[in-house]
Amino acid sequence: MNMRKPGNFYRASDVNKRRMSFFSALMILSLTATSTCFAGFEVGDFGTRSLGLGRAYTAMAGDGEALSYNIAGLARTPNNLLFSSYANLFGGMSEGSLNQYSAGAIYNGLPIVGRLGAGISVFTTQGYQEIQVPVGTSFELPFGIAAGVALRGLYWGITPDVDPVTGVQDDALSKFTFTADAGLYYDINLTTLKLPLGLAPKGKIALGLAIKNLIPLSVAVDKDQADAGRLPVQPRTGIAWIGNGGLISVDYLLYNGGQVRAGGEFKALNIDNRLGRAEILIRAGAAGDADSGGGEITGGFGIRFNQFRLDAAYVWSQNILDAGATQRYSLSYEF
DSSP track, 26-92: HHHHHH-TTS--TTTT------SHHHHTTT--TTT--SGGGGTS-GGGGGG--S-EEEEEEEEESTT
Rounded average pLDDT over 304-326: 85
Show the domain range for 34: 6-334
CATH of residue 25:
2.40.160.60
Look at residue 214 and tell me if it is in a domain. yes
**Is the model's pTM score more than 0.85?**
no
- Mean pLDDT rounded to a whole number for the chain: 83
For the ranges 38-42, 240-244, 277-281, which has the lowest average pLDDT?
Answer: 38-42
Distance, CA of 270 to CA of 272 (rounded, Å)? 7
Contact 4, 40 (CB under 8 A): yes
Cite the beta strand spans of 162-321 per DSSP E: 173-189, 204-212, 234-242, 246-253, 259-273, 276-288, 295-305, 308-317
- pLDDT on residue 294: 67
Look at residue 124 and tell me if it is in a domain. yes
The answer to whether residue 44 scores a pLDDT higher than 70 is: yes
CA distances from 225 to 5, 158, 240 (A): 12, 17, 40
Look at residue 210 and tell me if it is in a domain. yes
176 versus 275: which is more confidently predicted? 176
Look at residue 195 and tell me if it is in a domain. yes
Tell how far CA 18 is from the center of its chain: 28
Distance, CA of 298 to CA of 35 (rounded, Å)? 12
Look at residue 200 and tell me if it is in a domain. yes
Look at residue 1 and tell me if it is in a domain. no
Look at residue 247 and tell me if it is in a domain. yes
The answer to whether residue 197 scores a pLDDT higher than 70 is: no
β-partners of residue 300 are 283, 313
Distance, CA of 319 to CA of 138 (rounded, Å)? 37
Work out how many domains the chain is built from and give that number: 1
Rounded average pLDDT over 243-252: 95
Look at residue 272 and tell me if it is in a domain. yes
Distance, CA of 303 to CA of 311 (rounded, Å)? 6
For the ranges 8-17, 19-28, 192-201, 287-296, which has the lowest average pLDDT?
Answer: 8-17
For the ranges 181-185, 258-262, 323-327, which has the lowest average pLDDT?
Answer: 323-327
The answer to whether residue 92 scores a pLDDT higher than 80 is: no
- pLDDT on residue 311: 98
Amino acid at 93: M
The answer to whether residue 261 scores a pLDDT higher than 50 is: yes
Any idea what DSSP says for residue 245? S
- pLDDT on residue 321: 57
